[in-house]
Amino acid sequence: MLDLPQSEETPQLRLQAPVTQTAHVETPTVTVGSIANAAIQQTPTSEPRKQLPESYVRTLEVGSGDTLMKILLEAGINRGDAYTAIEALREEYDPRRLRPGQKIEVTFQPGLHEDMPHSFEEMRLNTGFNHNVYVSRETGGVYKAHEEVKDLVTTLRHAEGTIDSSLYVAATEAGLPASLLMEFIFAYSFDVDFQRDIQKGDRFQIMYEEVATEDGKHKKVGNILFASLNTGGRALPIYRYEDKEGRVAYYDDQGKSAQKALMRTPINGARLSSGFGKRRHPILGYSKMHTGIDFAAPSGTPIFAAGDGVIDYAARKGGYGKYIRIRHNSEYQTAYAHMRAFKKGTYKGKRVKQGDIIGYVGTTGRSTGPHLHYEIIKNGRKTNPLRVRMPAGKKLAGQELDRFFAVKSKFETEYAKLAPTTSIERLASAE
């Protein structure tokens, strides 16, 4: 698994192993390909180097089904050292959390003699965006672990553009990361129907955070702090605000929450395929009241809880197929039908929050293809989700409103300072 470097200084490489024999053991030459089977060298036969060679680092990658012990053994590290290092690591990080693709940097130290084994000195694991765990060899062969947390630097970025063909194309041309586009769409989804309301010539402005480690090696996008969507001749600004209880939400310029109690469309990227009202049923063949709206989407597309509430039904239900109903308060319920599957851990009586995934699009029950059938039930009566007046969200007041206006003013000032360009440097993928 690990190819160790060959150099003029170290033509023959051996890794250190615990000595258990008392008699001399013949030591075969160790090739690069057989380093894991390095023999024990009791007494160096070569002259000592004038100075200790520099240590070197090799990067190991976690494969599917790998354990840390397996990885270290395959790298040629003896079992005793590997076990001691892993036990030290447990003080800071559970090695069972390693995932395929994760990198482990291992440091080796060549011996003072050319034919001395190379000792395992340190390993480093990146355990978070700015978190590393080091396991280092100390005097006496003892390994100790410590965590390093790098300082973060936050920079404000902005993107703006005019919609010509679609919001997605315009946002991509402006360099807006895809994850922030989804956050932007969700923040406006309570007031804007992105399939029908967005028109050519509409504009958007977004200010967001870029978070990086001090050395600049790692970057990721942070939060949208301010955004404005100009559509249909109206400007819809929103601001990110954390209230005194630590709850974060987006508010309009008057301090009203952009997030309503219920979502009109609890699914992303879907097409409205059937509206509310009387229609000829595609399977039964006669006219029948359609008590919700249908969103056509690929099988397996996530379905979100339209609002905070408690699941009061989660099972098959006749022609609805796999069906979930959520009670939001004494007045409102929402229902979701024809699911392929419920999300693992979803059950009757579970409390959910708006935006939680509750299941996946399917075609169970009386259905002609994969879609979500969505209903809003008000006071026991099924109503049109596209026309019902959604319960209002939170409205700030008093000192909380004053604090919000101060944050709003700060964001507007900071946005005005940013370079008025429509093209920004794309960010590296978040880790």
> What DSSP assignment string belongs to 328-396?
-SSSEEEEEEEEEEEPTT--TT-EE-TT-EEEEEB--SS-SSSEEEEEEEETTEEE-TTTS-PPP--B-
Only one residue has tokens 């004494």, namely 330
- φ, ψ for residue 220, nearest 5 deg: -155, 160
Parts of the chain with a pLDDT under 50: 1-41, 284, 286, 421-431
Amino acid at 1: M
Provide φ and ψ at 362, rounded to 5°: -150, -155
Assess contact for 262 and 307: CB atoms under 8 A. Answer: yes
Query: Which tokens go with 210?
Result: 């870029």
Best CA proximity match to 32, nearest among 55, 78, 62, 1: 1
How many Å apart are CA 339 and CA 324, to the nearest integer?
A: 9
pLDDT at 325: 96
pLDDT of residue 27: 32
Q: What is the pTM of this model?
A: 0.58
* 139-159 pLDDT, tens digit each: 877 899 998 888 888 899 999
Domains and CATH numbers, the chain: 32-149 (3.10.450.350), 153-260+403-417 (3.10.450.350), 271-383 (2.70.70.10)
Tokens representing 236?
A: 């819809």
Q: What is the pLDDT of residue 242?
A: 92
How many CB atoms are located within 10 Å of the residue 167 CB? Answer: 21
358-404: pLDDT as tens digits? 999 999 998 888 999 999 998 888 888 877 776 667 889 999 999 99
Per-residue pLDDT at 287: 57
